[in-house]
Structure 1
């Protein structure tokens, strides 16, 4: 009988170890899936950041161009006003 009990105990311990191993494997698979999802999200964030940086650069270029045009229009208005004053003063 002791041999049977020892065998039963060994089988029970083996079953418990196999159960823990299966749990560990399941946890590892879930961890890898979560890491994969996180890596995908990080990639999307980097892509968004690059796109936003490009849009910001384009907006800054347009703002600079508008500022240049604004200065030119202002200069032309001053010239036109001076010309009108000169004509009116005659």
Structure 2
């Protein structure tokens, strides 16, 4: 019963087994590639969300800076006005003291 047909059948089974093994490896590689792509897509989505948050934070910080700069300008104006008034008051006091011999 070990004739030429048996040899061809064994060779055919070996070829099918080898082809099935190659197909299995190819499917495994494809699944791994899909997983990597899925992970990369999630990573990109995460980066986009983080970039959006950074942009929002930047806008908020810019608004806070504008507010702080405006406040600083108002304080500088108030400081100049107070200094002007103090100089005026000191000149008035000096004038009064000179008039009264002080």
Where on the TM-score scale, by shorter chain, does this alignment land: which range? Answer: over 0.9
Q: 1:17 aligns with which of 15, 19, 26?
A: 26
Q: How far, CA to CA, are the matches of 1:47 and 1:82 in structure 2?
A: 53
- Give the greater-gyration-radius structure (CA): 2
Unaligned runs of 5+ residues in structure 2 are: 1-9
- TM-score in terms of structure 2 length: 0.84
* 1:67 aligned onto 2:62: no
Unaligned runs of 5+ residues in structure 1 are: none
Q: How far, CA to CA, are the matches of 1:7 and 1:46 in structure 2?
A: 58
- TM-score in terms of structure 1 length: 0.95
Q: How far, CA to CA, are the matches of 2:33 and 2:60 in structure 1?
A: 40
Measured on the aligned residues, the alpha-carbon RMSD in Å equals: 0.8
Number of positions where the alignment pairs a residue of Structure 1 with one of Structure 2: 90
Q: How far, CA to CA, are the matches of 2:46 and 2:96 in structure 1?
A: 74
Comparing 2-11 and 22-31, the one that deviates more: 2-11
